[in-house]
Structure 1
Amino acid sequence: MISLKLFVFALFAAVVIAEEKPVAEILSENTNVNPDGYNFDFKTSDGVSRQEEGSLITVDEKQGIAIKGSYSYLTPEGEEYQVTFTADDKGYKPTIRVLPVQQ
């Protein structure tokens, strides 16, 4: 019984001590959708950004969507990860870059 009380107390203490992260705000956002495809982009106050566009493609007799875009985010250590990608009938192909910590 003592270990259960200790566990509950430790859990309560961890919740109280834990830092509350601020909610990210949208700094910019654009979206366009049309019969041939779409595109969008956004940026948030916590360093996340994304840009993507999709267009209809025909492969053999089947229709699908080809997508290309990029996104980036900051790690808790301050590194910025940038991912550029394409996704189509040949698969998903990402390229990842890690930028150094900003001083």
Structure 2
Amino acid sequence: MIKTALIISLFLVAAIRAADESQAETTKYRNEIKPDGSYSWEYGTSNGIDAQESGVGGVQAAGSVSYAAPDGTPIQLEYTADENGYRPTGAHLPTPPPIPDYILKALAYIEAHPFQRIQLKK
């Protein structure tokens, strides 16, 4: 009985300690800013967060971040931001459902039969 209680107690202490991320420390850090406006940075923490980014200030950026979700699932996010907007990618992100066939057929028909504009007289 005492052994079981001891094992359960140790398990609970380990679980509580693992859940407390307030004691996480920075394990790596790098930050570079160049005169031409380009930059890069990266950091890592003792609780498994790693992130990095490089780009040109106000023009474009690309980077990634990885960490463990609260349920323990590894999360890996990569992103690009430029004149086309912010585009993240990652297996954990939701994806839209496929476009139904009838919509694809309707779009193909519209493209094949463009609408003739009518000019009204004033």
Query: Do the structures match in fold with TM over 0.5?
Result: yes
Please list the CA deviations of residues 1-30 of structure 1 after superposition, one character each: whole Å capped at 9, or x if unmatched.
Answer: xxxxxxxxxxxxxxxxxx571421011111
TM-score (norm 2): 0.55
Residue 39 of structure 1 pairs with residue 40 of structure 2: yes
The CA RMSD over aligned residues, in Å, is: 1.6
Helix, strand or coil at the partner of 2:72: coil
Consecutive unaligned residues of structure 1, counting only runs of 5 or more, are: 1-18, 57-63, 99-103
Q: 1:82 aligns with which of 69, 76, 84?
A: 76
Q: Give me the whole-angstrom Cα distance separating, in 2, the residues matched to 1:46 and 1:65.
A: 32
TM-score normalized by structure 1? Answer: 0.64
Runs of 4+ with >6 A deviation: none
User: Which protein has the bigger helix share?
Assistant: 2
Offset of 1:97 from its aligned partner? 2.7
Alignment partner of 1:29: what SS? strand
Q: Distance in 1 between matches of 2:81 and 2:70?
A: 28
The amino acid that maps onto 1:96 is G
Matched, 1:25 2:25: yes
Structure ID, larger Rg: 2
- Are 1:92 and 2:93 counterparts? no
Q: Which has the higher contact order (CA 8 A, sep 6+)?
A: 1
